[in-house]
Amino acid sequence: MSESSSLDGPSSLDGPSSLDGPSSLDGPSSLDGPSSLDGPFSLDGRVVLVTGASRGVGAATAVAAAARGARVACVARSTDAAPKRIPGTIDQTVAEIVEAGGEALAIPADLTSPDDIARTVSMTVDHWGRLDVLVNNAAVTFVGDVGVELKRHDLVMAINVQAPLLCVRAALPHMRAAGRGRIVNLSSQAALRPVPGLMSYGMSKLALERMTTDLARQLVRDRIAVNCFRIDIPVASEGTLANMGDVDLSDWEPTSVPAEGILWMVEQPDEYSGYCESMWELRHREGIMATRAEREFAKKPPLQFLQGLHDVDTDNAFARRTEP
């Protein structure tokens, strides 16, 4: 398979175009007073940057954040002017937000480019005067295991690991200036168990979870909480469906369901930091993300890293089936 795809999020390399002109700038002062040191983190009035926001979980998260009063920078490559193979553009995401009465900005970016990453943050801050929340959602994969082409393996690592790190570095000065911040990274069940055909992708997501726990320790005194949301319930994102064989989708959730869990993480108090949380576990522990599928996904996913010879006879679901 030569096309890129994502196991659970959007396919990532998405991005250009803007539907919004300049708006009034807010200063970098904090929205939180002294009394809210241990309180929830409200999205109302915040500025949120979401990568991979042209479709799938990224687009759904951007729309949901705007519905809670946030101003949202939608970053990706797919635009109305330059669409990709998989449906969805950042222009469409921004249009949906604006039509609902929200504020959003479309920012084209190639997340393999450090200069583009720096520009996405600077454009966001230039437009709204602050940055409070970063959602590192963009991800890409190529099907292949030990024989995967090195250039494809390197691309997976560049977008799934290096880009989130560079986004954090660019965002930190602005979150510190705001006095408080939130970072949520998106992971996958492939981080904990081997998924046939997705070795590089799984490696990248495990690295992202490790980075999450390290950043949380480094940034706790800045009141910047860093957490990771692991998608381990099937989610019917465009990027995943475009590259799957024939599968039963009756227990697959729409992208709005994980978006709810991601924003739940954002809104927790400052001390909620350094967690790599399972979507399945959060649903059952916190009573959030009620199923919107035809039937609820019932199989409990692994919650710890699996060792040994696990699922050695599992089929590669990403291999195209050509038989009738």
pLDDT tens for each residue of 70-107: 999 999 999 999 989 899 999 999 999 999 999 999 99
pLDDT of residue 310: 73
pLDDT of residue 238: 84
Q: Answer yes or no: is pLDDT of 19 > 70.
A: no
pLDDT of residue 239: 79
pLDDT of residue 15: 35
For range 62-73, the mean pLDDT: 98
pLDDT digits (tens, 9 = 90+) for 139-181: 999 999 999 999 999 999 999 999 999 999 999 999 999 999 9
Q: Is the pTM of this model over 0.75?
A: yes
Q: Answer yes or no: is pLDDT of 25 > 70.
A: no
Q: What's the CA gap between 123 and 170, in Å, rounded?
A: 11
Over the chain, what HEC string results? CCCCECCCCCCCCCCCCCCCCCCCCCCCCCCCCHHHCCCCCCCCCCEEEEECCCCHHHHHHHHHHHHCCCEEEEEECCCCCCCCCCCCCHHHHHHHHHHCCCEEEEEECCCCCHHHHHHHHHHHHHHHCCCCEEEECCCCECCECCCCCHHHHHHHHHHHHHHHHHHHHHHHHHHHHHCCEEEEEEEEHHHCCCCCCEHHHHHHHHHHHHHHHHHHHHHHHHCEEEEEEEECCCECCHHHHCCCCCCCCCCCECCHHHHHHHHHHHCCCCCCCCCEEEHHHHHHHHCCCCCCCCCCCCCCCCCCCCCCCCCCCCCCCCCCCCCC
For range 7-14, the mean pLDDT: 39
pLDDT of residue 256: 98
* Active site (catalytic) residues: 201
Q: Which domains does the chain have, with CATH numbers?
A: 40-286 (3.40.50.720)
Q: Answer yes or no: is pLDDT of 126 > 60.
A: yes
pLDDT of residue 319: 52
For range 24-46, the mean pLDDT: 65
pLDDT of residue 317: 53
